[in-house]
Amino acid sequence: MAPPLVLDIDGTLTTPAGGIDPRAFETVPAWDAPVVLATGKAFPYPVALCHFFAIPEQVVAENGGVVYADDEVTLTVDGDRVREAAQAFVDRGGDLGWGTADTVNRWRETEVAVSLDADEALLRSVAADFDLDVVDTGYAYHLKTPGVEKGDGLRSVAETLGLDPEAFVAVGDSENDVSTFETAGRSFAVANADDPARAAADRVTDGAHMDGVLEALAAAR
C-alpha cells in the first residue's frame, strides 16, 4: 500500500514560474493514502488547494502555526507578538512589500510574511528585539515564533488521523521543511531545494519541482 504523504507546496508542487504544476491535479488525488499539505502560506491557501484537488482538507499552514484535520482548526501559537514586530519593522522604515491590500498576510493568524525585496538586516534586527525567528523559504521571509514548526503540525494531524508520523513520506524544498523531514519516516528534497533541506532529507531527487515529486512518489511506492 502507498504510505501517507506530507507535501510542501511552493517550490515542490509548483512550476519554476510559481504556479501549481498541472500534473499535481492528477497525481495528488490519485494517491491512495492520506495526503497532508504543509506550507508557509496562510491557512486559506492549502484549504483551497485541497478543495480543488478534491481531497480531504488536512493541512499544516503558516509553518505549523495553523493545523486543520477532521473538522478541527488549531492555532498552535498566538500571533500578537509577531504582528507587533511587523508593525515595528514598518515604523522603523521597513516595507512588508505586498502593497496596500496585502493579500499575502490578510488571512494570516500566527505569523507575518515579508517580501524577499525587504530590508533583511532590519527585519532580523527587529525579530531579535521581539525574540522571534526569521525563516527564508525562498519565496518570502517568515516572521514567526520560535519553536513553531511544520513537523509539530504533522504530528498533530497524524494523531488526529490515528497514524504514526513516521509512517509519512515527506517531500519539500526549503529550510521550513526540515522539521517535517525529521518527523516523517522518509523524506525527499527535490533537486531545487536549498542547502538545509538537502542536508536534512534522506534523498535528493534528480528532478526539480514536480519532476522531483513524481520521482519521490515512485520511490515511495
CA distance 120 to 27: 37
Tell me: the pLDDT tens digits for 48-72? 999 999 999 999 999 999 999 999 9
Q: Tally helices (H) and strands (E) across the chain.
A: 8, 11
DSSP state at residue 3: P
Q: How far is CA 29 from the centre of its chain?
A: 19
Q: Tell me, what amino acid is at 96?
A: L
pLDDT at 1: 82
User: What angle, rounded to 10 degrees, do the helices at 120-129 and 80-91 form?
Assistant: 130
| β-pair partners for 134 | 143
For cell 538537502, the residue is: 198
What contacts 49, CB < 8 A, 6 or more positions away? 9, 20, 37
Length of the chain in residues, anyone? Answer: 221
Residue from 201, 157, 213 nearest 177 by CA:
201
CA distance 44 to 51: 10
Q: Catalytic residue numbers?
A: 8
Q: Is the pTM higher than 0.85?
A: yes
Segments in the chain below pLDDT 50: none
